[in-house]
Amino acid sequence: MAHSTLPRVFASGVDYLTATARPDEGADELGRLAGAVVVEEREAGNRMRTWLWRGYGGIAAGGAMFGTRADGVIVRLSGATAARWAPAAAKLASTVTRCDLQVTWIDPDGDADAAVMKLYRDRAALSGRGRPTDRTILRPEQTGPTLYAGRRSSANFGRIYDKHSEEPAAYPPGAVRAEVEAKGPVARALGTRVGDGSVTGGYVLAYTRDWFARRGVALPLPPDGRAELDVPPRAPTDAERTMEWLTKQVRPGVQRAMDWRGLWPTLKALGLDAPIQREYGLCVR
């Protein structure tokens, strides 16, 4: 089915950022920011946990990770947390070692898998033999077909996939995500732009579209010039996922236990009898 209009952009911006700072170049300021973001993620309902990586030791919650070692601090941000806090973190950092940009659009037919397959089938042949980093392949993943461009171990890597299948609670059916992952000098250059506020909606669309175009993949994105970034939806928190698990997985078993043994024996088996008595002043024998 042909469409005269381009797909609607659902979200765009920074999807992932790793930033570091040395003690004499803003480590204290970056550390305070990162710590505050982790606390904010915890207060939103995410579990705080210990985070260790390459000699860094710190804490993490939701889409934020923060660690320290003798030569400075590191912060990692992902998803909606990166979209919100990446500019502030990049501005305080000595170095940005990884920066991912993403654009998510809604396929007009509501079929993200078919949209990914079409992008792969319609890819243009590259002139000459090409470089290994220019290879474009399609792999079946649990969430549907995923188009990969380049090597993950290289400085540039991209993928296009069904975002709804990955996060059905946050993204509608037909959501297609294109991501460009940058490391090394490319990440440092992007980090500078993120920190000075020049990564606009138009910049993200143009950067992502041009990056894939150089690898023979034509993304169905609108023209440049959009000033605003489209902030992605927040992923479900740990607390929300726990409540969903209780509702879908635990509640049916609890209902069966109540049918077999009654309400109070079931509450005692769950260890909820004493808390309920304390909370409501009940005396049940």
For 94-122, write each residue's pLDDT tens digit: 999 999 999 999 999 999 999 999 999 98
Identify the weakest region by mean pLDDT among 64-73, 143-152, 189-198, 206-215: 143-152
Q: Tell me the average pLDDT of the chain.
A: 87
Residue 73 β-bridge partners:
21, 68
146/22 Cα distance (integer angstroms): 38
Model confidence pLDDT, tens digit, residues 23-71: 988 899 999 999 999 999 999 999 999 999 999 999 999 999 999 999 9
Q: What is the mean pLDDT of residues 264-284?
A: 78
For 244-260, how does the pLDDT look when each residue is reduced to its tens digit (9 = 90+)? 888 888 888 888 888 88
Tell me, what's the pLDDT at 5?
67
The dihedral of CA 71, 73, 77, 83: what is its sign? negative
Residue 63: count of CB within 10 angstroms of its CB: 24
Angle in degrees, 0-180, between the axes of helices 79-92 and 184-196, rounded to the nearest 10: 90
- pLDDT given at position 277: 78
Q: What is the pTM of this model?
A: 0.82
Which amino acid is located at 17 in the chain?
L
Distance from C-alpha of 123 to C-alpha of 213, rounded to nearest angstrom:
9
Whole-number pLDDT of residue 233: 79
Given strand 49-53, what is the order of strands in its sheet?
49-53, 56-61, 64-69, 72-78, 8-21, 95-106, 175-183, 156-162, 144-150, 136-141
Say yes or no to pLDDT of 3 above 50: no
Q: Is the pLDDT of residue 133 over 50?
A: no
